[in-house]
A and B are shown apart, each in its own frame.
Chain A
């Protein structure tokens, strides 16, 4: 009898497991995935450029204020071979990296503190969201008063623009950890620092990444606003070059620079998007549409 029960179990268990697992595997080739992710984007860009061309053809604005796509792209080709471009891009990216890194450090620390300390939450919890809604360009008059037309003024606004989003991501991430996971973690022996390391931080990671992604968008926007306003004569940057292009009425160059700004923003955003998808795939919460 006992033997009967055992053999029945083992084969039934593996049979049930096989049946339930089989439907969960789906295989698509790498090339197929890449193509299905790429073509809608390519098509959208093509349509946008076509609409731009149609507007130019309509003669709505003269070519010196709205140049045709072909002229802009040929200028873009020249622009990216110039030393000034690479100089400017280096300055801009360095500012972005330093400002964003500081915003991450401050955002994580403030978010963690506000999420865990009740009195801090009551005091500044809603202020963080208020800060987030403040357009970063509105900070510049104050920044310029405090730091004149300097690197610090730009840094100040980039950090103020990005840190609240990151802090909010952390707060949201910690608030929405399923209590069951915390109970399970405590039961298997995770207490204090190890509870943070092995349960709380990984559980909050998706929301933290979302906060970083949003923080980056704010940092990049603030930086561009800053570089347009705070032009430091001795130092070229993407934003400074955009200002010069406008002052010299170089429409093609102006639009070339805008394309560069857009592309940099998109590339970094795509990196955060990839990290986000990797986490969600691991968790099994990636829906078909998102894949």
Chain B
């Protein structure tokens, strides 16, 4: 039983002698309800991989299968909210595009804004919110797609540590409440150990899966706990070895 199945994914950018191999045969199976973090240094093609799974780009080789054949929701490092719409209208847009009737939309949007603690801020414009609030609004907009799979591309990379901690708790809560499958890309190993069931380490240029680490720490977890630190240290060691290979 898999929610996301990637088999031998390759991605080549450009043609001829200047072509760049970004991903080289990445295979990965994610179980329903699993939280997987993809970790790697620069140039490992993490973001490319998510774009492919989200259907925004086509792989050069290999196959991608997503549970129910749906398009997964994708979140970026930047909130990517539409600046011309209010927070409410941003969250409503996926529902509108899916043809959900107006009355139902209203209730769904209220529920989603409540989920991310933005109930009072629906009438604000995105620029009136803080970075963390915008990212929560973006999460609500992605959740509005109502897909079982959530792809997140370093979504908390631009936030301060305190906001990030809170959003980790929030994401964990929403993930378990909604039984989501999450594929989360980060270069922050501690964040990966804090959040995931499994950490997948990718090599750089080209991206390949080089190791997998199970994270069996009971939840809720704290990012400053010794268990999280121990897992993070192990993965960091592997990551260093991989990065060091490029310096030789």
Q: A16-B162, A283-B84 are in contact. Are A183 and B76 (CB under 8 A)?
A: yes
Residues of A within 8 A of B (CB): 1-2, 5-6, 9-10, 12-14, 16-17, 20-21, 24, 180-181, 183-190, 194, 198-199, 202-203, 205, 279, 282-285
Which residues from chain B contact A203 at a C-beta distance below 8 Å?
82, 84
6 contacts between A and B (CB under 8 A): A21-B130, A184-B76, A187-B54, A187-B145, A188-B144, A198-B96
Q: A2 to nearest B CB, angstroms? A: 6
Q: Whose C-beta in chain B lies nearest to the C-beta of A12?
A: B166
B236: CB under 8 A from chain A? no
Give CA–CA (A249, B93) in the complex, Å.
Answer: 63
Give CA–CA (A181, B56) in the complex, Å.
Answer: 12
Give CA–CA (A188, B84) in the complex, Å.
Answer: 16
Give CA–CA (A186, B93) in the complex, Å.
Answer: 12
Q: Is the CB of A21 within 8 A of B128?
A: yes
Query: Range of interface residues on chain B?
Result: 35 or more
Q: Which of A17, A187, A189 interacts with B130 by CB under 8 Å?
A: A17
Q: Whose C-beta in chain A lies nearest to the C-beta of B218?
A: A1
Q: A198 to nearest B CB, angstroms? A: 6
Q: Whose C-beta in chain B lies nearest to the C-beta of A190?
A: B97
B178: CB under 8 A from chain A? no
Q: Which of B34-54 touch A at CB < 8 Å?
A: 51, 54
Give CA–CA (A284, B170) in the complex, Å.
Answer: 27
Give CA–CA (A284, B128) in the complex, Å.
Answer: 8
Q: Whose C-beta in chain A lies nearest to the C-beta of B219?
A: A2
Q: A138 to nearest B CB, angstroms? A: 39
Q: A189-B97, A194-B97 are in contact. Are A20 and B130 (CB under 8 A)?
A: yes
Q: Is the CB of A9 within 8 A of B125?
A: no
Q: Which of B51-80 touch A at CB < 8 Å?
A: 51, 54, 56, 71, 73-74, 76, 78, 80
Which residues from chain A contact B142 at a C-beta distance below 8 Å?
187-188
Residues of B within 8 A of A (CB): 51, 54, 56, 71, 73-74, 76, 78, 80-85, 93-94, 96-98, 117, 121, 125-130, 132-133, 141-142, 144-145, 162-163, 166, 169-170, 173, 220
Q: Which 7 A-B pairs have the closest CB atoms?
A: A284-B127, A20-B130, A184-B80, A189-B97, A188-B94, A283-B83, A202-B84
Which residues from chain A contact B132 at a C-beta distance below 8 Å?
16-17, 20
Which residues from chain B contact A9 at a C-beta distance below 8 Å?
166, 169-170
Give CA–CA (A288, B166) in the complex, Å.
Answer: 33
Q: Is the CB of B145 within 8 A of A188?
A: yes
Q: Is the CB of A14 within 8 A of B128?
A: no
Q: Whose C-beta in chain A lies nearest to the C-beta of B83?
A: A283
Which residues from chain A contact B141 at a C-beta distance below 8 Å?
188
Centre residue among A17, A21, A198 by max chain B CB count within 10 A: A17
Q: Is the CB of B78 within 8 A of A180?
A: yes
Which residues from chain B contact A24 at a C-beta distance below 8 Å?
128
Which residues from chain A contact B51 at a C-beta distance below 8 Å?
183
Q: Whose C-beta in chain A lies nearest to the C-beta of B91?
A: A188
Give CA–CA (A24, B134) in the complex, Å.
Answer: 14
Which residues from chain B contact A20 at a C-beta distance below 8 Å?
129-130, 132-133
Q: Is the CB of B220 within 8 A of A284?
A: no
Q: Is the CB of B97 within 8 A of A198?
A: yes
Which residues from chain A contact B126 at a C-beta distance below 8 Å?
284
Give CA–CA (A194, B97) in the complex, Å.
Answer: 8
Give CA–CA (A92, B22) in the complex, Å.
Answer: 62
Q: A16 to nearest B CB, angstroms? A: 7
Q: Whose C-beta in chain A lies nearest to the C-beta of B78?
A: A180
Which residues from chain A contact B170 at a C-beta distance below 8 Å?
9, 13
Given A21-B129, A284-B83, 19 more A-B residue pairs with CB atoms under 8 Å apart are A5-B220, A9-B170, A10-B117, A13-B166, A16-B130, A17-B130, A21-B130, A180-B78, A183-B80, A184-B76, A184-B81, A188-B73, A188-B145, A190-B97, A202-B84, A203-B82, A279-B84, A283-B84, A283-B125
Give CA–CA (A16, B93) in the complex, Å.
Answer: 27
Which residues from chain A contact B144 at a C-beta distance below 8 Å?
188
Give CA–CA (A102, B230) in the complex, Å.
Answer: 69
Which residues from chain B contact A279 at a C-beta distance below 8 Å?
84
Give CA–CA (A5, B83) in the complex, Å.
Answer: 33
Which residues from chain A contact B73 at a C-beta distance below 8 Å?
187-188
Give CA–CA (A135, B82) in the complex, Å.
Answer: 39
Q: Is the CB of A17 within 8 A of B133?
A: yes
